[in-house]
Amino acid sequence: WIPGPYFTLGTDGYGRSDGRRHLRDFFEVDERYITLAVLHMLMREGKVKPELVKKAIADLNIDVQKANPFTS
C-alpha cells in the first residue's frame, strides 16, 4: 500500500537503442525525466508552482515536442 499518489516509470524494448542511456532517454526514464516526474507530481499536489516545472523542462533540456515513446 502506498499512502499517496505515485508515478510509474519503466522500459521495454532493448532493440530500440544501442545502449542503456539512449534507451532510458527514448522511454523518458533517465534522471532528467525522473526529476520532471517528481516535480510534476508535486505541482499536481500544489506543493510547487507550474513555473518551476517549466523552468526544469528548460534547464534539463527536455524536448516537449518529442514523440511519445508509448505510441512511437
Per-residue pLDDT of the chain (72 residues; tens, 9 = 90+): 888 888 777 666 556 677 788 888 888 889 999 999 999 999 999 999 999 999 999 999 999 999 888 787
pLDDT score at 11: 64
Could you tell me the pTM of the whole model? 0.76
Answer yes or no: are the C-beta atoms of 29 and 9 closer than 8 Å.
Answer: yes
pLDDT score at 45: 95
pLDDT score at 33: 92
Q: Please give the grid coordinates belonging to residue 72.
A: 512511437
Cα gap 26→13, rounded to integer Å: 10
pLDDT score at 12: 61
